[in-house]
Structures are given as structure tokens and as C-alpha cells.
Amino acid sequence: MTGIGRSKLYELIQEGEVEIVKIGSATLIPIASLERLLERHKKC
């Protein structure tokens, strides 16, 4: 969907480029965070 691989996504999370929300054992990415990421990478 985004064209970003799993390992790259983990890397972006570690770098603080992508916000995450933990709910129980689930790790979620807010839509707004994903949209910001896609906008930043679209401009590159």
C-alpha cells in the first residue's frame, strides 16, 4: 500500500519519523502519522 517495507518501517519508527500507539500487545500507526510520512517522502 505505501511501498515501504517492514524493515524500513521499523527503522523509521526507531528514528522517530513515524509515531506509534501501543494498545495492549498491538502496535498501531495513527493515520495522521502515516499521511505525514507519505507527504515527506513524496516531496523527495
Q: Is residue 1 domain-resident?
A: no
pLDDT (tens digit per residue) in 1-44: 678 889 999 999 999 999 999 999 999 999 999 999 888 877 76
pLDDT recorded at residue 42 = 79
| Residues 30 and 19 sit within 8 Å (Cβ to Cβ) | yes
pLDDT recorded at residue 1 = 66
Give the structural domain span for 35. 6-43
Domain count, the chain: 1
Q: Is residue 39 domain-resident?
A: yes
Q: Is residue 18 domain-resident?
A: yes
